[in-house]
């Protein structure tokens, strides 16, 4: 059996958790579910059914799968129609396999619709969604995320290292947004899957080396290939690693003809207690406990006020097990949250 005919009960569970428990959809609310030709039809139908079962009004929107993510995909989508619809719903679940996130459609939906509750899961598998959205208490996760964020806000410089060769640092900017997602999407927000603390580095402050365990648009995860970014003043100054793979990624970056695609966008600390190892699924792996995600390219004005960082697209890469220092204070050692203020909260989530 293929994946489109398996996991019927798991689809129903994930749909219930997201729509009823996390979005807390109310009777009469309109819920848009956007998908494309790369998505699991049965999962999309399960989301719509979960909305209908609690009295909501599902709006399931199918589009072609765009060639590229974000603004670079705009030519493949009915932009005006999508913007109009998404500007007038209460909830938007983005499931697209080639994402609308950070396109003009997305930006204008948020600009026009101040009540919008949004969550992106992209084309995550049912198995990945089960791991990402279940197995923990939202309140306990929120306590941990808020404590980590509070500690970040008190530091000046963040340094991240890994046994894979990563050693990179940057300064924070208190004018930017420091996001968390604990699974409560019941109020207007730009939401992503639970289990992270997200920072937008201060402009031109990131320097060092990032060696990826997974990188979008590259064949790194689960292979002997290696790609590393040399970061200088928050820009990708060089791409090194396995020659053929590094060259291919250089060509990918150059294809946008956009200098902002080389710039750091954000950094996420992974804190989802149900995700203890990488599995090759980006949305899940970005939140792996004790790992970090680095995003590049477009940054929304919501995260980086007042203007954001406009770019044609956005991509992410993950380092699966890291050590993290806030100024001279270590909070994570080789994937373990070991700081005395964090250790009891971590044990509450994942055990001793």
Per the structure block, which two tokens stand in for 38?
């790369």
Residue 219, CA distances (Å) to 96, 225, 236, 280, 347 in order: 21, 7, 19, 11, 34
Q: What is the mean pLDDT of residues 244-253?
A: 98
Instruction: Give tens-digit pLDDT for 142-158.
Output: 999 999 999 999 999 99
Nearest 5°: the CA angle 321, 323, 324 is 125
Distance CA(20)–CA(211), nearest Å, equals 39
Instruction: Give residue-wise pLDDT tens across range 188-235.
Output: 999 999 999 999 999 999 999 999 999 999 999 999 999 999 999 999
Average pLDDT taken over every residue of the chain: 96
The alpha carbon of residue 247 and the mean position of all alpha carbons in its chain are separated, in whole angstroms, by 26
Residue 2 pLDDT > 50: no
Check if the beta carbon of residue 191 is closer than 8 Å to that of residue 221.
Answer: no
Would you give the DSSP letter of residue 15?
H
pLDDT at 133 over 90: yes
- Spacing of C-alpha 276 from chain mean position: 17
64 pLDDT above the threshold of 90: yes
Q: Quick one: which H or E segment has residue 239?
A: strand 235-241
Token duo for residue 347: 């044990």
Q: What is the pLDDT of residue 1?
A: 36
- For 110, residues 6+ apart whose C-beta sits below 8 A from its C-beta are 116, 118, 190, 300, 302
Residue 252 and residue 217 in contact, taking contact as beta carbons nearer than 8 Å: yes
The one-character DSSP state at 66 is P
Nearest to 250 by CA among 263, 236, 264: 236
pLDDT tens per residue across span 39-48: 999 999 999 9
- pLDDT greater at residue 7 or residue 57: 57
Is residue 351 predicted with pLDDT exceeding 90? no
Kindly report the three-state secondary structure assignment for every residue of 183-196: CCCCCCEEEECCCE
What residues contact residue 108 under an 8 Å CB cut-off, 6+ apart? 83, 87
**pLDDT-derived band at 344, boundaries 50, 70, 90:** very high
Tokens coding 15: 């749909």
Asked whether the whole model's pTM tops 0.75, one would answer yes
Report the distance separating Cα 39 and Cα 174, nearest Å: 38
Q: How confident is residue 352, by pLDDT bands cut at 50, 70 and 90?
A: low
Instruction: List, in sequence order, the alpha helices (H) in 193-329.
Output: 243-254, 282-285
* Sole residue written with tokens 């007038």: 88
- Report yes or no: 88 and 73 within 8 Å, Cβ to Cβ: no
Measured distance CA(343)–CA(257) in Å, rounded: 45
The residue behind tokens 């290696």 is: 226
Looking at the predicted structure, is the pLDDT value of residue 6 above 90? no
């Amino acid at each position: 059996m293929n994946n489109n005919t398996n996991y019927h009960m798991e689809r129903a569970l994930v749909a219930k958790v997201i729509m009823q428990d996390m979005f807390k959809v109310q009777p009469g609310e309109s819920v848009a579910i956007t998908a494309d030709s790369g998505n699991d039809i049965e999962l999309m139908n399960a989301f719509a059914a979960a909305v209908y079962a609690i009295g909501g009004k599902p709006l399931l929107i199918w589009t072609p799968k765009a060639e590229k993510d974000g603004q670079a995909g705009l030519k493949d989508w009915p932009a005006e129609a999508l913007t109009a619809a998404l500007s007038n719903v209460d909830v938007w679940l983005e499931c697209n396999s080639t994402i609308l996130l950070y396109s003009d459609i997305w930006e204008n939906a948020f600009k026009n619709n101040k009540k919008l509750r949004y969550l992106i899961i992209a084309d995550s598998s049912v198995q990945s969604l089960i791991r990402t959205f279940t197995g923990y208490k939202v309140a306990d996760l929120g306590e941990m995320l808020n404590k980590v964020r509070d500690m970040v806000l008190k530091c000046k410089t963040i340094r991240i290292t890994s046994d894979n060769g990563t050693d990179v640092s940057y300064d924070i900017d208190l004018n930017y947004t420091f996001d968390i997602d604990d699974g409560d999407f019941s109020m207007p927000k730009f939401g992503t899957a639970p289990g992270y603390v997200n920072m937008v580095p201060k402009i031109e402050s990131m320097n060092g080396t990032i060696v990826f365990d997974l990188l979008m648009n590259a064949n790194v995860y689960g292979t002997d290939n290696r790609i590393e970014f040399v970061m200088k003043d928050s820009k990708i100054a060089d791409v090194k690693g396995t020659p053929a793979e590094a060259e291919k990624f250089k060509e990918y970056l150059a294809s946008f003809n956009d200098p902002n695609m080389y710039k750091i966008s954000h950094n996420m600390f992974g804190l989802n207690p149900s995700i203890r190892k990488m599995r090759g699924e980006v949305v899940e792996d970005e939140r792996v406990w004790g790992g970090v995600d680095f995003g590049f390219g477009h940054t929304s004005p919501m995260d980086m006020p007042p203007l954001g960082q406009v770019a044609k697209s956005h991509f992410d890469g993950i380092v699966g097990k890291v050590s993290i220092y806030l100024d001279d204070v270590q909070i994570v050692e080789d994937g373990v949250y070991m700081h005395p203020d964090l250790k009891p909260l971590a044990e509450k989530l994942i055990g001793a």
